[in-house]
Amino acid sequence: MDKRASERPQVLLAWSSGKDSAWTLHKLRTQGTVDVVGLLTTINREAGRVAMHAVRMQLLEAQAAAVGLPLVKVFIPSPCSNEQYERAMSDAIARARAEGITQIAFGDLFLEDVRRYRENQLAGTGIQPIFPLWGLDTASLARTVVAAGLRAYLTCVDPKQLTPSFVGRTFDAQFLDELPPGVDPCGERGEFHTFA
């Protein structure tokens, strides 16, 4: 084993199953400054689906196999209080730290309150949050992801921001061209979620 590689930080990637997570993995692997050693995913215990994105666990497991990384599954109830979520994540973080994980990567783009929350939750745990996509222009990023060949499909939408007819669509140039004004091209404000 390359001595330099073994000295790189061991990183879990917060994995939603969507395009931003997939692009974060691509970016981390391309940079080569850390070792991504697993995908950290919250799963709705009752539905057996990825929390927020509603992707079936079998598809999540297929993604992990395709990228060659183990899944760290964090099961949460539905509905889930913030206290229950934080307890489940705290347990997962403690296990990760005991296994030598020193960083958790997030695919967040620009929501300051979300970033601050993640930083606060990891403060004092011995695990540093990293944000490889932070601050990138989302219109440009969306086009870059599509041009690079990343394939993703919309799994759900916020019906206050997008009509249900967008569900199931391919995240591609045509989709981006047809987005209503005010909808972030990466869905960063929860307008839509994807499966990559």
- pLDDT for the residue 3: 42
Are residues 18 and 186 in contact, defined by beta-carbon separation less than 8 angstroms? no
Task: Give the whole-angstrom CA distance, residue 13 versus residue 192.
Answer: 21
- pLDDT for the residue 6: 62
- pLDDT for the residue 54: 82
pLDDT in tens, 130-182: 999 999 999 999 999 999 999 999 999 999 999 999 999 999 999 999 999 99
The pTM for the full model equals 0.92
pLDDT in tens, 26-61: 999 999 999 999 999 999 999 888 887 788 999 999
Q: Which two tokens stand for residue 123?
A: 């403060």
The angle that helices 138-147 and 19-31 make with each other, rounded to 10 degrees, is: 80
Count of Cβ atoms closer than 10 Å to residue 92 Cβ: 20
Q: Which long-range contacts (CB under 8 A, 24 or more apart) does 110-117 make?
A: 110/134, 110/135, 110/138, 110/188, 111/188, 111/189
> Which domains does the chain possess?
3-130 (3.40.50.620), 138-195 (no CATH)
Task: Give the whole-angstrom CA distance, residue 109 versus residue 84.
Answer: 26
- pLDDT for the residue 53: 79
User: Average model confidence (pLDDT) for the chain?
Assistant: 94
Of the chain, the percentage scoring pLDDT greater than 70 comes to 97
